[in-house]
Amino acid sequence: MMKKIINTDKIKSSFISSAGPLLPAGKSPEVGLGELFADVQGQNVYVDSKTFVDLIPIKRSKQLLREYKLAKKDPEFNLHEFVRRHFYELSTARSNEPFIANPNDTITQHVSRLWSDLERRNHRDKGSLIALPYTYVVPGGRFDEQYYWDSYFIMLGLAAEGKWTLIEGMIKNFAYMMRKFGFIPTANRTYLLSRSQPPFFSHMVRLLAGHKGKSAFIEYLPYLLREYRFWTKGRIKLAKQEHRAYARIVEMDNGVLLGRYYDNKTTPRPESLGEDTDTASEAIERDSERLYLHLRAGAESGWDFSSRWFEDPTDIRTIHTADIIPVDLNCLLYQLELTIVDSYRLLKQPLLARKFQKLADRRAAAINFYLWDDELSFYSDYNFHHHMRTGNLSLAGVFPLYAKIASTEQAAHVAARIEKDFLKPGGLVCTLIDTGQQWDAPNGWAPLHYVTIMGLRSYGYYDLANKIKDAWIGANKAVYNQEHKLVEKYDVTGGNGLGGGGEYPLQDGFGWTNGVLEALLAGTE
């Protein structure tokens, strides 16, 4: 029986992988459900706006809308009851039993048991959830889909346990989405198909190559190139655009092209409709469509939200993400370019390798020219509308060390600033400002700790890297010993250690916390 199940699973995976890209994606809930969607989200039927967009309708959208328009004419009509009868919540978990932490488990045993609970297999489109060919791991909590940049840090933990089949399946899912959509969306949801996330795909390929061999570079080169085209397309349109910016690329004053976060829509995010419309209603002096674009771009950055995107650091209504050249994004694109270089060298294509090496070198020089701030002795994002650096200090400023493009002197300044201002008893704050946003102080996040640790080690700052590592592991363990869980983000400054702020409650799970922690504990980072 087990053999039959496995074979059936392989057949379904093969079918989706081959036929899936040819099939159209379903409509995003705000499009397919129209008036019903607007009423449910507008009337706050659910506290969390993401709840409704993840529900599964029991009928086709057109039929459901007809029934809704008729039913709402009834004076006794109850919207919550209508939704309850016409939608259901689908768990894609492998077990219907809720995960229960064993207080006797060590933190490593807890993580190891959690991986199975966070595994998902979804071979059919279900509401807004898009089918994927292979099994994947989700972050946990409200996030029940395969997220882009989360997955790399999840893979670090899976690698520590030797779960390479699962890792490669997740990479193949991203390759599948590139074939189907032309890029890697934030996650496999229809309402997330207008934006991506920080481009860590090249890092996933390098991780796999460390296990599988250099053939991984050649196998995934077509997808590395698709990823690159997505982040750099639109060059021929720049001359006609205000501020010489189009989609995700910006032409700087010296002619070099750098990247920015962007989104292809200018409407409220369906999964955060209430939050976005509230922000717009309070920002009466701003064009709402432009404001929504900046909010969406902030979501693509993964830092949703942070004072690094605000003109007034304390006011989300001043968000202007799409006007900014981010340090982290351009370092990741530099690393993507170098991965393409390595792939072409393996294929003995020296001309193409030199082409991408030149692009990488120009990007590195531009990062050091535009994003290094001599006054701050730190890297800072750049506002290309105002032709000046934002001056916002954040852990994004460590990415040039992670990408190995900082000079020895620059690295020394960054390391000193990290130790002096960012390092707290439980690890690193992601900014130096407490605004109530989740990507600001006092919160610390697993991916930024990993990047910082690796970046500092690249320049020989092993003692500081280990100090940060020990502080972060200590914060994780302290919460685990008290709560028997691992969470999305931590208050690294003290208290009970539980992070806060943002648009939704603190989430358990939690994918990238588990992955980074396991890699650090295993010494495989």
Q: Which helix (H) or strand (E) holds 57?
A: strand 56-57
User: Which entry of 275, 304, 323, 440 is annotated as an active-site residue?
Assistant: 304
Does any domain span residue 180?
Answer: yes
Q: Is the dihedral of CA 270, 275, 281, 284 positive or negative?
A: negative
Structure tokens at 10: 């392989």
Over residues 490-516, the pLDDT tens digits come to: 999 999 999 999 999 999 999 999 999
Torsion (CA) 307, 311, 315, 317 in degrees, nearest 10: -120
pLDDT of 181-206, one tens digit each? 999 999 999 999 999 999 999 999 99
Residue 8's pLDDT band (boundaries 50, 70, 90)? confident
Q: How many CA atoms lie within 13 A of 308 on its CB side?
A: 31
**148 and 268 both lie in a single domain:** no
One domain for residues 267 and 136: no
| Known catalytic membership, residue 48 | no
In a domain, 183, yes or no: yes
Domain-embedded: residue 269 = yes
Q: Which of 78, 98, 118 is the last residue of a domain?
A: 98
Residue 104, in any domain of the structure: no
Say whether both 416 and 365 belong to one domain.
Answer: no
Q: Which tokens sit at 3?
A: 């053999």
Tokens standing for 478? 């302290």
Q: Is 520 a member of any domain?
A: yes
Is the pLDDT at 280 greater than 70? The verdict is yes
The residue annotated as part of the active site, out of 300, 488, 491, 525, is 488
Q: Same domain, yes or no, for 382 and 400?
A: no
The answer to whether 163 and 207 are in contact (CB under 8 A) is no
* Tokens describing residue 383: 């506002």
pLDDT digits (tens, 9 = 90+) for 76-118: 999 999 999 999 998 755 556 778 889 899 999 999 999 999 9
Q: Which of these three, 392, 413, 433, is where a domain ends?
A: 392
Per the model's pLDDT, the better-predicted residue between 10 and 454 turns out to be 454
What is d(CA 337, CA 403) in angstroms, rounded to the nearest whole number? Answer: 11
Same domain (yes/no): 87, 115: no
Q: Residue 422 gets which letter from DSSP?
A: I
Residue where a domain terminates, one of 230, 248, 272: 230
Residue 1 is predicted with a pLDDT of 46
Do 403 and 480 have their domain in common? Answer: yes
With both helix axes pointing from N to C terminus, report the angle between 462-483 and 446-458 in degrees, rounded to the nearest 10. Answer: 160
Q: Does one domain contain both 9 and 153? A: yes
Question: Could you report the per-residue pLDDT of 210-239, keeping only the tens digit for each?
Answer: 999 999 999 999 999 999 999 999 999 998
Q: Same domain for 248 and 385? A: yes
Query: 308 is in which domain, residue-wise?
Result: 235-392
| Cα(39)–Cα(42) distance, integer angstroms | 5
Handedness of CA 159, 165, 166, 168 (dihedral sign): positive
Phi, psi of 315 (to 5 degrees): -130, 110
Would residue 27 count as lying in a domain? no
Q: Clarify whether residues 462 and 419 are in a common domain.
A: yes
Domains held by the chain: number = 4
Specify whether the CB–CB gap between 489 and 417 falls below 8 A.
no
Given a contact cutoff of 8 angstroms between Cβ atoms, the answer to whether 176 and 130 are in contact is: no
Q: What is the pLDDT of residue 2?
A: 45
Q: Examine residue 28 and state whether it is found in any structural domain, yes or no.
A: no
Task: Supply the pTM of this predicted model.
Answer: 0.96
Residues 18, 154, single domain; the answer is yes
Are residue 380 and residue 304 in the same domain, yes or no?
Answer: yes
Residues in CB range of 98: below 8 A, 6 or more apart: none
Residue 510 lies in a domain: yes
Q: Is 67 one of the catalytic residues?
A: no
- Measured between alpha carbons, how far is 444 from 517 in angstroms, rounded to an integer? 13
Q: Are residues 255 and 245 in the same domain?
A: yes
User: In terms of DSSP H, where are the helices of 438-510?
Assistant: 446-458, 462-483
